[in-house]
Structure 1
Amino acid sequence: MNNVERHQHIIKEVNLKGHISVVELCESLGVSSVTIRKDLQFLEDSGLVYRTHGGVTKHNPYQTDRSVIEKEKIHENEKRAIAKRAAEFITNNDSVIIGSGTTTQFFAREIMPQGHLTVVTSALNVTLELLKHPNIEVIQLGGSVRQTSSSVTGQYAIHTLDQFFCSKLFLGVDGIDLEYGISTTSAQEAMLNQKMIEVAHQVIVLADSSKFSRKSFGKITDLVNIDVIISDEIPPAFMELFDSLGIQTIICK
C-alpha cells in the first residue's frame, strides 16, 4: 500500500469512527508507528485531520471560547435529550449545584420538582430559567460576570461555596480527554468548578458527543473524580475507560 492509499484509508477510518489510535492504524495497515505518525503529520498539515495524543480525530481537539448565545444553537436536540435525562436525578427536597453552560441551561428548563428544591448556581441564565418555579430556592453566587458564559467566577464565589454541601453537582464542560480529563475554556471557571466538586457528594457531567477527544485551556479535574456522565453518544475508548473507573454512563438520543 502506497502513501496515497494509506492516507485515504486513514481519512476514511477517522470519518467513520471520529477518533482512531496510532496502534489501531499500525495493525490495520501493517506498518510501523513511525510511518503512521508521518502520515498523520502530513494529513494534519493538509488540514484534513487533527492529531491527538496517541491518535487522530476529525474534530479540532482544542476548544475555544464562544458566546453562550452561539453555543445554545449548536447540538440543540442532543442537549435537550441530555437535559431531560439529567432532570430525573432531582429528588424531593434536594440541594444541588448547577454549573454554567448551555447544556445546563437546557437542564434547568427541564427541572419540575414535586417538592422543595434548593439550587446553588454560578450561571445567570440558569437562575432566570428557575425563577418561574415558586418551590425552587435559588442561591446565585456572586462575582465577576463572564459575558461569554453568562456566569460568575472569582474568589468571592469560591469562598461562598465553603458554606454549602450539596447532594449533586450538574456540570457542563467544553472538553473531555482520556488523559487530560474534563476542561473548560476559562481558567477562572475551572477553579470555581473544582470548588463545586469539593462540596458535592455526586458529580454528574452533562456533555454532548462533540465534547469528547477535546481539550480546553482550563483543566477542571481528572476523570476519576466523576460519578456520572450523560451524553448522546460516547466513543468506545471512553466507554472502556469509564467502565474501568466505575463511572456510570447514560446515553440518550
Structure 2
Amino acid sequence: MNARHQQIIQLVNTRGSIAVSELAQITGVSEVTVRQDLNMLERDQFLRRVHGSALALDSDDVGMRMNTRYGIKQAIASHAASLINEGESVFIEGGSTNALLARTLSDRRDVTVITVSHYIAHLLKEAACEVIVLGGMLQKSSESMVGPLTRYCVQQVHFHKAFVGVDGWHAETGFTGRNMLRCDVVDAVLAKGVETFVLTDSSKFGQIHPYPLSPGFQVRRVITDSALHPTLLTQLQEQNVAVIQVNEKVV
C-alpha cells in the first residue's frame, strides 16, 4: 500500500463517500488510476465501490483500521509508550492506535499489559511483556470484551495508567463513541481515577456519535497529531483537557 492508497482510505473514511473525479483531483492522478486503486482497495476490503464513487465500510475491524493513517497512529502510540515507566501495569482498551501501542510495548519485559481486546492479546502472544486479558462477552466485530462481567473485571484489577480510544469529540458533547457497550467499559476505567489517556488521531475531533462517555468521569489527557484544528485545541483546553500533539512518522 502506497501513500496515495492511504490518502484515499482516509478521505473515504472521513467523508463516508467521495466521487472518483474528486479523488483524482485531490491525489493528482487520472480517474483511470483512481479506479484501479479503488478496485484494489475494495478487493482488500478497505472500502466499497459504487458507480462513480467510493463508500466507507462501517467496520470495527482493527487490523483494517491500523493501516489507515498508519504513520500518525504509530507516532501517537510511540509517544504513549514513552510515558510508561519501568514496572508499571497499564490498561489498553482497544482500537487501532491502542493496538499499535501494545505492539510497541511487546519487547518490554518490565511492563504488564491489561486489556479487554482479544486482538491485542493475540498481537502479544509471543511478547516479552506480561499480558492479562479480562473476561466478559466477546463483541465479535471488534474482538473486544464488553458487558457487566467486563466492568466487574475492570473494577477488580489495578493499573498505573490507562489508554483508551474514542470515536468522536465535540465541545458540546465531550467524548463520544459508536458503541454503547464499549463506552461502558471506558466509563468503568475512568471511574477508577487512574491517569487515563485518550489516543486518537485528529480526524475524530469535531465529530459526534450516539453514546457519550459518562460526564461524572472526565478524560483529562489526550494524545493526538499536530493536524488538530487550533479552534478545537482551544476548546479542549478550555474544558481542562491537556493535549499532547505529535508529528506523523514517515513510514
When the two structures are superposed, what TM-score results if normalisation uses the length of structure 1?
Answer: 0.69
Count residues in correspondence.
Answer: 191
Alignment of structure 1 residues 43-122 onto 2, 5 Å = 66-111=60-105, 114=108, 116-122=110-116
Deviations 1:66-115 (A, max 9, x none): 43243222211111111111111111110111111111111111115655
- Distance in 2, Cα, partners of 1:170 & 1:65: 21
* Match of residue 27 from structure 1: none
Tell me which of 133, 136, 141 is aligned to 1:140: 133
> How many angstroms does 1:196 deviate by?
1.0
* Match of residue 198 from structure 1: 191
RMSD, matched Cα:
2.3
* Match of residue 202 from structure 2: 209
Alignment of structure 1 residues 1-253 onto 2, 5 Å = 66-111=60-105, 114=108, 116-134=110-128, 136-222=129-215, 225-232=218-225, 233-253=227-247
> How many angstroms does 1:132 deviate by?
2.5
User: Structure 1 runs of 4+ off > 3 angstroms?
Assistant: 63-66, 112-115, 221-224
- Distance in 1, Cα, partners of 2:122 & 2:95: 13
When the two structures are superposed, what TM-score results if normalisation uses the length of structure 2?
Answer: 0.69
Q: Which runs of 5+ in 2 are unaligned?
A: 1-13, 15-56
* Largest Rg, 1 or 2: 1
Q: Which runs of 5+ in 1 are unaligned?
A: 1-17, 19-62
Paired residues of 1:180 and 1:222 also in contact (CA < 8 A): no
Q: Percent identity?
A: 25
Paired residues of 1:172 and 1:206 also in contact (CA < 8 A): yes
Paired residues of 2:89 and 2:159 also in contact (CA < 8 A): yes
Q: Structure 1 residues 160, 115: closer, same or farther in 2, change over 3 A?
A: same
